[in-house]
Homo-oligomer: A and B are copies of this chain.
Amino acid sequence: MSATSVNLQALGAAAKAAARGLALASTEAKNRALEGISAGLLAQQEAILSANGRDCAAAKAGGLSEAMLDRLLLNPQRLAGMAADVCTVALLPDPVGEYIEMRTLPNGMQVGRVRVPLGVIAAIYESRPNVTVDIASLCLKSGNAVILRGGREALRSNAALASVVQEACRAAGLPEGAVQFVDDPDRARVAELLRMKESIDLMVPRGGAELIRYVAEQAAMPVVAGGIGVCHTYVDVGADQDKALRIVHNAKVRRPTICNALDTVLVHRGIAGSFLPRLAEEFARAGVEMRCDPEAYSFITAQGCGTGAQEGPPPTVLRAVEEDWGKEFLALVAAIKVVDSLDDALAHIQRYGSGHSEAIVTEDYSGAQRFLREVDAAAVYVNASTQFTDGGQFGLGAEVGISTQKMHARGPMGLREMTSYKWVVRGDGHVRPA
């Protein structure tokens, strides 16, 4: 075993040891640490921004794209936002120690379940340095030790942020080692972390589809494998067209680069002739490129929508290719398809959806019920934008990620989903009969 691998093993063992104490830490101590992080981010602003400045300069010199540079950049406003987010986590209820149930059995023995932390959570993420503070604060509040491994470009920024977090933990009396930061940018360390199932209980990848897929495939421990969303909105023949336009527009345009953004619009043939020209006009105004199946293409271009004959910028209407179905665009692009029926829509979603967020727009009661029941996805919607799939929006307060798995947690994962439970039995000399 190489010298480097010994270090990561030691770091994992230290996190594991700290996890035991952290699991027993009081809510008061954990909140004290969170408040300390929030204050520290502001007090250490100069050092953090200076480290970030060096990261940004190096990244720019290295030719990083403008979009990536923007993700990497910290400024006083962004730091203040991070500090405020940590305070929000401090205000959330502590999931640890919550009794999920407690019953008295017929024999007088009490049996229940109480929430406990998972242990050690490792996060592997890319260039956004705010993830360092975000994940660390959620892990601390839920009583989990954490191992942080950010992107190479953000190494100096992350180190500065991690030291604020570690200092706050120390001041609050939390166990040494509760927050571990991997300061080696070598990509081999990621592969090594993914094998450390003895010391890491849960792996949380945050970033692009490629990173998430790599981690999900390689990790020896459980992974919150979410983040990839191929999301459909089906506009039924019974839809209110005004609602449908509002919902489809919001699902695509509000933020096109997040995983709950719309990718494909399915439109019932019975409404396509009147709805699609209106949608094309809306999408054109918003700069959305449309990739249409032959029928949708006819409906849209027949009305001259594709020709620029109407007011506003001309829409980009293209013919869809097979790869456009089931594609996560993460951009102002939408695939559009005409379907025969609700069954047809359900079959398309089953084939091409990624099990993230799927919506129907309809005023038809039975159709809505069928859609909710039959679509197999983390979140299913009637008459609302899929962009609501988010821990904050669903009332979890914050989220560590969105799971598209079925085991453990599905959909947005908040503090509660970062816990396990144990069974607690209180007897008075009870023995089990033969």
- Answer yes or no: A132 CB below 8 A from chain B CBs: no
CB distance from A163 to the nearest CB of B (A): 30
Whether a CB of chain B sits under 8 angstroms from the CB of A60 is no
B24, A432: Cβ atoms closer than 8 Å:
no
Contact A380 B422 (CB under 8 A): yes
Cβ of A430 within 8 Å of any chain B Cβ, yes or no, is yes
A406 nearest CB neighbor, chain B only? B420
A313 at the interface (CB under 8 A from B): no
Q: How far is the CA of A393 from the CA of B431 in the complex (A)?
A: 11
Q: Contacts A410-B421, A422-B380 hold; do A429 and B395 have CB atoms under 8 A apart?
A: no
With A373-B24, A376-B23, A431-B250 known to touch, is A384 a contact of B421 (CB < 8 Å)?
Answer: no
Measured in the bound complex, the distance between the Cα atoms of B406 and A116 in whole Å is 9
Interface band, chain A = 35 or more
The docked-state distance in angstroms from the alpha carbon of A381 to that of B426 is 6
Chain B residues, CB < 8 A from A118? 406-407
Contacting chain B: which of A40-48, A79-87, A239-247, A314-322? Answer: A239-247
Known: A20-B376, A103-B395, A383-B427. A422 touches B432 (CB 8 A): no
Q: How far is the CA of A260 from the CA of B214 in the complex (A)?
A: 38
- Are A243 and B429 in contact, CB atoms less than 8 angstroms apart? yes
Q: Are A378 and B428 in touch, CB under 8 angstroms? A: no
**Is residue A137 contacting chain B, with contact meaning CB distance below 8 A?**
no
Q: Is the CB of B429 within 8 A of A422?
A: no
Inter-subunit contact B431/A407 (CB<8 Å): no
- The A interface is mostly helix, strand or loop, or mixed, namely mixed
Cα(A354)–Cα(B394), bound, Å:
37
A123 on the B face (CB < 8 A):
no
Report the minimal beta-carbon distance from A62 to chain B, rounded to whole angstroms. Answer: 33
Q: Is the CB of A422 within 8 A of B243?
A: no
Cα-based distance from A432 to B385 in the complex (angstroms): 7
Q: Check if B119 sits within 8 Å of A254, measured CB to CB.
A: no
Are B111 and A424 neighbours in the complex by a CB distance under 8 Å?
no
Residues of B within 8 A of A412 (CB): 423
A157 within 8 A of B: no
Given contacts A24-B374, A111-B395, A201-B406, whether A422 and B379 have CB atoms under 8 Å apart is yes
Report whether A411 and B407 are in contact in the complex, using a CB–CB cutoff of 8 Å: no
12 contacts between A and B (CB under 8 A): A201-B406, A247-B430, A249-B431, A254-B431, A376-B422, A379-B424, A380-B422, A380-B425, A381-B425, A383-B429, A384-B428, A410-B421
The 4 closest A-B pairs by CB, nearest first: A384-B427, A250-B431, A406-B420, A243-B429
